[in-house]
Structure 1
Amino acid sequence: MGVYVSIRGWLECDETQLTAVREVIASHEDNHYSNGWGSPRRHTSWTHYIFYGADIRASALDWFVDQIKEIARIPASDDDGDLVQGLLLVSHEVEGPSEWQVRDGQLFTSPADSRHRFLDG
């Protein structure tokens, strides 16, 4: 049957970066787990959000991590210097839950806070 990992969370960016994020996602298209990506039907305010939610095989985790790291490296597009940032909660059936922070051009992982354990039930 295999080991699964539940991934859910979001990324925040500006409009120019959103175009680059979508290009990264398209370059990793697999016609299966790529369908976990989504965004609001209509944009409101100034921040653009893109969400991911799917249960993937642990064997596909490197595929997903490669995308997130590539997205994290997308440069700022204006004088504000804001980079893509976001938060994902990742629940591995064997290794347990972790928190992934996309910030400062990188992916940072740490054990998830115990308050989030209810999501693994």
Structure 2
Amino acid sequence: MVSANRHELYSGGWAFPSAPFNWSLYLFYGGDIRQGELSWLRGQVEQLAEMAPVDGDDDWPTGLFVVTAEERDGAQMWQVREATVTELPAPGLSWLGQ
């Protein structure tokens, strides 16, 4: 899924574990991205959010991405829950963008 929309400069920021740890599988993204390419990353996160549950618990992916940029005032959060991504301000994390 993520590899289908590979970006030459930014796809290397993803980190995927080789196997689930206990009952969880954590994905990470870390990297510097130009403001104009945030839509690419947001699309990647939206695709991951829409992944169907893989077990009988019907647990959809959940997560939190913190986005900071010099061009923005403070930090934003992308909250992943119930197959959607919601953008919220992160006022308590505004120091990250400085």
Q: Flag the 1:71–1:42 CA change in 2: closer, same or farther, 3 A.
A: closer
> Are 1:79 and 2:56 matched, yes or no?
yes
**Structure 1: runs of 5 or more not aligned:** 1-23
- Greater RCO (Cα-Cα under 8 Å, separation 6 or more): 1
Distance 1:65 1:46 in 2: 26
CA RMSD between the two structures: 1.6
Runs of 4 or more off by more than 6 Å in structure 1? none
Q: Normalising by structure 1, what TM-score?
A: 0.72
User: Which of 72, 76, 84 is the matching residue for 1:98?
Assistant: 76
**Structure 2: runs of 5 or more not aligned:** none
Contact 2:69-2:97 at 8 Å conserved across structures: no
> Are 1:108 and 2:86 matched, yes or no?
yes
Residue of structure 2 equivalent to 1:47: 24
Residue of structure 2 equivalent to 1:38: 15
Identity, in percent, stands at 32
| Superposed CA offset, 1:28-66 (max 9, x none) | 112220000013466431201110001101111111111
Instruction: Point out the structure with the larger strand share.
Output: 1
